[in-house]
Structure 1
Amino acid sequence: MKTPRRLPQQLSGRPFTVAEAAHAGVSKGRLRHRSLRPLGRGIRGQGTTAALTLGARVRPFVEVNEQCAASHATAAELHGLPTRKRGLGEDEVFHVIRPEGAAHLKRPHVVVHRAKLLPGETMLVGGIPVTSPARTWLDLAERITLDELVAVGDACVRIPYPELEGREEPHCTVGDLRDIVARHRGKRGIRKARLALALIRVGSDSPQETALRLALLRAGLPEPVLNARIVGKRGQHGPKPDIGYPEYGVGVEYEGEHHGTEPQIVRDIARSESYDDVGWAEVRISKRHMANEGKAAVAKVRTALFLRGWRPGQASTRASTPSSTAP
């Protein structure tokens, strides 16, 4: 078989629809050449796609079918929300949603969901129709655990860092999540979504911080504040604990894997000195403390609180001590 003609640059190295190819002037014969992989009816691609962005990989699978939008785990990944790690061979499996009543769709590489879609529950992300963050969160209630759903909700309502993320507003608000739950009574996973809604908080910066907070609350420890700046008695600014107990002067820091790098070690030492300066106790938690439902983490935090005057069953006094933190 003779060497195939080179594809137009805009199609090279990525999956594309047959309609795109025709518009770009690619012949039917070229589309039948064995150098192109059929990825389902109406879609072709060259080689593997794992190195491409998710948007480039999923785009043709959404565009080839009318009324489709990326959804569930695929939408979460496109929004930058926490997702489970993809398993072996899952790089080319995508979730899409179609309105209920639309014709059944079955094609390779795609998990198709048919459900009620209301106005405002889809949006464009990089030009691709995707379920909104709030709708994505609600759809994930069908497929993930309660704690994972809380972590996704925390990520939805988290105030971003503009200098790092290029956005100033959260993906959505707690009110948005509450509204979408109210609009979809009887939907699969709705009970779990209601339970998660009661546990979602603004201020958690990672799924690990969410998991730690939930473990502490379930152990009966006080409700903390999240990532709020400490202000000392002399007005000096201290650190921003991942989890803070202002009424007891205890800050809890979750140490991710990056904390083993030399620059981060220097920053962590400076942070510990800052805790000393404002008279707070620092509790450092790592992944190993979170095994066995976080029992070791709970024990460390409980001990620190106990040494600072907290007792089980003691009512929080945080509302009477607002000067201990600053946003």
Structure 2
Amino acid sequence: MSTVSPPPDRRRRPRDYPLPDHGISGARLRRRVSANDLRHAVSNGFLRRVAHDLYVPHHGPASAEESAQQTLRALTADTSRVVGHETAAALWGFPGFGLDAPYHLVHPRRRSRTRHSGLVISHNADVAEEFISLSHGLQLTSPAWTWTDLALKRSLLDGLILADQALRPPRPEYESRTSALAHHAELALAVKARGRVNGVRRLRSIQQLARVGADSPMETALRFSMHQAGLPEPAVNEWLCDERGNRVVQPDLSIWDYRVAIQYEGWEFHSAAGQMLKDVRRQEDTEALGWLEVRITKEHMRSRAAAAVAKIARALRSQGWRCPSTFGHAL
């Protein structure tokens, strides 16, 4: 028995009006289409309402990240608003930030703020064009400016961790990014541009303490604790080479004057049997070069890393270091 397809529903009205190619506010959309067309677009799935009077083109199922970006385009398209603070950090790829509502938007001073309770957190600031970048089809505060916004709300150590992450060169084997988010000069320019804002001295201190090469927040925290205690400043992720110039070992931190190599051992990674063997070989290679290896774990980092600092200090003394009278003043 054959089935006959029903005739097309000729009562359904075809779309005969233009649609936006990005998120848009209802007020701007109604300048292009009538209210009836807008209702037709929503009811037929051509547009999706993401918040009160905010619409995005509907192109089928979207991931949470794509949906968030569409909403941000709706909030910022054809306006002077830019994405900033935690939301910009998530889009740039700063670790520890998610692309979730409420979204942070920056408005020029003397401009009204966006009124979307629960969806938007508004900030008033005049951000120079040199600190605004285009990414993901959105205008964002640059990584350097985003760092200043975040660091002004955080402790010195947390701000330093973010600065190190901004300066960190990517590792191609683990991530798609090909360059650091920012350079020292960009951080310095952003700090200078903040003028006399409250906390700018802390920003300047953080920028001066930030270093290229730190792979993890714990490495930064260890280096900061060493600085606070008055230990010699270590180099970050520099290679130790043999007499022929061949790279042999890359410690997390290294104090060249006393040939002390410091490795932070993350328990989850270094507890695997295969990795433990690699760690033993690494220590043997380090010692064969005439260096002393110091291994630090999260247990050493408790109580402001007092045990870590003491362990490193003992290693330094065994290598000829004479601690100054200021050593340990911050512990």
Q: Same fold by TM (over 0.5)?
A: yes
Match of 1:132 among 132, 142, 153: 142
Q: Structure 2 CA distance, aligned partners of 1:166 and 1:61?
A: 23
Conserved 8 A contact 2:23-2:55: yes
Partner of 2:328: none
Secondary structure of the residue that 2:123 maps to in structure 1? strand
Q: Answer with 240-249 or 256-265: which moved more.
A: 256-265
- The answer as to whether partners of 2:108 and 2:126 remain within 8 angstroms in 1 is yes
Greater C-alpha radius of gyration: 2
1:231-270 maps to which residues of 2 (within 5 A)?
A: 231-233=241-243, 235-256=245-266, 257-270=268-281
Per the TM alignment, residue 139 of structure 1 is displaced from its structure 2 partner at its CA by 1.1
Alignment partner of 1:195: what SS?
helix
Decide which of 184, 200, 214 is 2:224's aligned counterpart. 214
Cα distance in 2 between the residues matched to 1:150 and 1:59? 32
Q: Paired residue for 1:41, among 53, 59, 81?
A: 53
Asked whether the equivalents of residues 69 and 96 of structure 1 are also in contact (C-alpha less than 8 Å), the reply is: yes
User: Structure 1 residues 279 and 56 mapped into 2: Cα distance closer, same or farther (>3 Å)?
Assistant: farther
CA 1:148/1:82 → structure 2, altered by over 3 Å: closer, same or farther? farther
Residues 1:259 and 1:41: Cα distance change in structure 2 (over 3 Å):
farther
* Cα distance change on mapping 1:72 and 1:237 into 2, 3 Å: same
Query: 1:29: how far off?
Result: 5.8
2:110 maps to which residue?
101
SS at match of 1:120: helix
Within the candidate set 144, 148, 152, 1:142 is matched to: 152
Partner residue of 1:181? 191
Q: Which amino acid aligns with 1:39?
A: A
Residues 190-223 of structure 1: CA distance to partner in whole angstroms, max 9, x if unpaired?
2221121121112222221111100011111101
Taking a change above 3 Å as real, the CA distance of residues 237 and 60 of structure 1, as seen in their structure-2 partners, is: same
- The aligned counterpart of 2:64 is 52
Distance 1:18 1:182, change over 3 A: closer
Aligned residue number for residue 234 of structure 2: 224
**CA shift in 2, pair 1:45/1:109, >3 Å:** farther
Cα 1:146–1:83 change in 2 (3 A) is: farther
The answer to whether residue 297 in structure 2 is matched with residue 286 in structure 1 is: yes
Task: Compute the displacement of 1:243 (Å).
Answer: 0.5
1:55-66 to 2 correspondence within 5 Å? 56-65=67-76, 66=79
Which of residues 95, 111, 116 is equivalent to 1:82?
95
Alpha carbons 2:168, 2:213 under 8 Å: kept: yes
Assess if the C-alpha contact under 8 Å between 1:238 and 1:277 holds in 2. Answer: no
Q: Which residue of 1 aligns with 2:83?
A: 70
C-alpha displacement of 1:30: 6.9
Task: Report if the CA contact (8 A) 1:38-1:45 is conserved.
Answer: no
Contact conserved, 2:222 with 2:305, CA < 8 A, in 1? yes
Paired-residue identity, %: 32
- Which whole-Å CA distance do the structure 1 matches of 2:25 and 2:186 have between them? 38
Q: CA separation in 2, counterparts of 1:120 and 1:184? A: 13
Q: 1:106 to 1:283 in 2, by over 3 A?
A: same
Q: Which amino acid aligns with 1:152?
A: L
- Cα separation, partners in 2 of 1:45 and 1:142, compared to 1, 3 Å: farther
Q: Report the CA distance shift for 1:109/1:296 in structure 2 as closer, same or farther (over 3 A).
A: same
Please list every run of 5 or more consecutive structure 2 residues that lacks an aligned counterpart in the other structure: 1-11, 13-21, 326-331
Letter in 1 for 2:105: V
- Determine which structure has greater relative contact order: mean sequence separation of CA pairs < 8 Å that are 6+ residues apart, divided by chain length: 1
Rounded Cα–Cα distance in structure 1 between residues aligned with 2:158 and 2:150 = 9
1:17, distance to aligned residue in structure 2 (A):
5.2
Q: Give the root-mean-square deviation of aligned CA atoms.
A: 3.3
2:133 matched residue in structure 1:
123
Distance 1:31 1:310, change over 3 A: same
Say if 2:202 is the partner of 1:192. yes
